[in-house]
Amino acid sequence: MRKSIRLLATCVAAVVTVCPALARAADEKPADKTAEKPAEKTPAQSVTTQGSVTVNGQTIQYDAVAGTITVGATNEQDAQLGPDGKPLPDTNLAAAVAAAKDPADAPPLARMFYVAYFKKDANFDQRPITFLYNGGPGSSTVWLHMGSFGPKHVVTEMDTHLPAAPYRLEDNAESLLDVSDLVFIDMPGTGFGRLTGKDAGKAFWGIDEDGHAFGRFIQRFLSQYNRWNSPKYIFGESYGTTRSAVLSNILENEYSIDLNGVMLLSQIFDFSTDIDAAHTNPGIDLTYELALPTYAATARYHHKLNPEPPDLEAFLKEVEAFAMGPYAEALAKGTDLSQADKQAIAEKLHDYTGLPVDYLIKGDLRIAGGQFEKSLQDDSGMITGRLDTRFSSPSIDPLAESSEYDPQSSAIGSAYVSLFNQYVRNTLKYGEGQTYLPEADFGSTEWDMKHGGNPVYVNVAPDLATAMITNPKLKVLVNGGYYDLATPFYGAFYEDKHLPIPDKLAGNIEYAWYESGHMVYVKEACLKQLHDRVAEFIKSTDAGNQ
């Protein structure tokens, strides 16, 4: 489902780049170069259908618009695009496109796919609008679209692999349409979007390039649908939270678009604390400290603790205090830590993680994410999930040091992709003759992890901080799952408590944790909690409701 997330950790560890970017799609080449592959149909700019959904007893009639918006690789190029996404006559961009003998040599453009839901007969000046996207980098937004707040919802079982098709798609009683219009955006090179032109991957695939592409998309969307005066929100998941930090700063300080709120799900700002790459970054022990509460929650869930703590949240508070106290002090001593103290810390870690004391000592008290996933249930030949540690599956290689794949991705990925492909074609009437790309088809181009020219580990916390300082009314809602080992919840808490903002702005940040994983919404009870929390956040930050 999200192989790119694991790839992200691996590549970030090398400090160079993260993910190879999308090779130019074959359907974007001239017909004489694609004889072996039927050409895709040229997509319609947009298709509008109607639907209804009932949320909290309220039946909401809506228009659903599926389509693409084309953005340029720079602000100057974007300004030379007409409302149809094509270069305007008599512009430098139009001249360059016309002069290109091969379309692949033309200036780079990105056609970005979206699905928007607008409540019928709403006053757009009063009606909030929320832009949502997943992460990766390299993921489409099929997961948030079909799992969280869209009018339809993929039904998944708890912590087990779903049977093969047919899958279940139901009306979503937790759709966010009761409080906001919704726009689900696929990043450049995913969904029904395509990249065209010379070096298009390099032009759109990188932290800064991606942030500006989303900024230009939002600008064009606001103009196309006359939503400039609507209350505006962004909602990102996983790497989408990284994007949100960058994007919030771009919107606020480059494009003069104030946001009412930024909503983050499964946050990661500082990639130096990535638990997957922990062993490649010696001396950064904070990584292990921030992951320990998730290890503990997971061990409790799988009944690896004796005695088993009766109250999860009280237990996690205890683990957090140990992680930032005795555990942090022990790790800080490095090779000066005595054997007696190492033994004592290992025994306490055993109480919190269920891992054998000798294994913890052998690991020098430092167990990376993949090692924990492989070792926790190794006695039964099972590996533990990464995106959601409640999930388990058989190990491919019993002798491997780390887990080889993610059980949750394997368990539910087919249902999401299959049902979206059916829904978008049958209900939204979009995509005939086209291929939907749930993830970017990475080629030789690499994702540029330099941010603001900094070639070292990425930390986008200053971007969100700048947005909050320059717009002191901006509010932030941080959401996370206790069973998320891809982006541990306590890491998000630590990052936000250390944002470089004045103390008086700390109150602009709210936190909500759930007994779920990276994709909080796959658990029905947590989806309802997430909906209610987000809906209340929007109501409280929408100036029109105050």
The string of pLDDT tens digits covering residues 129-158 is 999 999 999 999 999 999 999 999 998 877
Contacts 24+ apart (CB under 8 A), 455-460: 455/15, 456/15, 457/12, 457/15, 457/270, 457/271, 457/272, 457/281, 458/12, 458/207, 458/242, 458/270, 458/271, 459/269, 459/270, 459/271, 459/272, 460/207, 460/242, 460/245, 460/246, 460/269
Q: What is the mean pLDDT of residues 240-265?
A: 98
Q: How many structural domains is the chain composed of?
A: 2
pLDDT score for 544: 58
Query: 53: closest CA among 45, 65, 64, 38?
Result: 64
The string of pLDDT tens digits covering residues 22-44 is 222 223 333 333 334 455 666 66
Q: What is the mean pLDDT of residues 191-202?
A: 93
Residues 297 and 315 in one domain: yes
The string of pLDDT tens digits covering residues 59-109 is 999 999 999 999 999 999 999 999 889 999 999 999 999 998 888 889 999
pLDDT score for 160: 77
Do 261 and 471 form a contact (C-beta atoms < 8 A)? no
Residues 328 and 252 in one domain: no
Residues 400 and 427 in one domain: no
Residues 125 and 246 in one domain: yes
The string of pLDDT tens digits covering residues 98-108 is 998 888 889 99
Does residue 296 fall inside a structural domain?
Answer: yes
> Rounded CA gap, 43 and 32, in Å?
20
Residues 187 and 288 in one domain: no
Does residue 103 fall inside a structural domain?
Answer: no
Distances (CA, A) of 351 to 34, 36, 102, 293, 305: 60, 60, 64, 12, 7
Does residue 394 fall inside a structural domain?
Answer: yes
Residues 215 and 280 in one domain: no
CATH of the domain at 253: 3.40.50.1820
pLDDT score for 441: 85
Q: Which of 381, 408, 435 is the last residue of a domain?
A: 408
- Output the average pLDDT for the chain: 90
pLDDT score for 19: 35
Residues 207 and 224 in one domain: yes
Q: Which of 393, 408, 423 is the last residue of a domain?
A: 408
Residues 254 and 279 in one domain: no
Residues 22 and 146 in one domain: yes
Query: 171: closest CA among 157, 155, 153, 156?
Result: 153
Q: Which domain holds residue 381?
A: 273-408
Find where tokens 């072996």 sit: 36
- Cβ burial of 456 (10 Å; 0-12, 13-18, 19+) is exposed
Mode of pairing for the β-strands spanning 129-133 and 181-185: parallel
pLDDT score for 171: 96
Q: Which of 362, 379, 408 is the last residue of a domain?
A: 408
Does residue 310 fall inside a structural domain?
Answer: yes
Mode of pairing for the β-strands spanning 392-394 and 382-384: antiparallel
Run of H or E including 59: strand 58-72
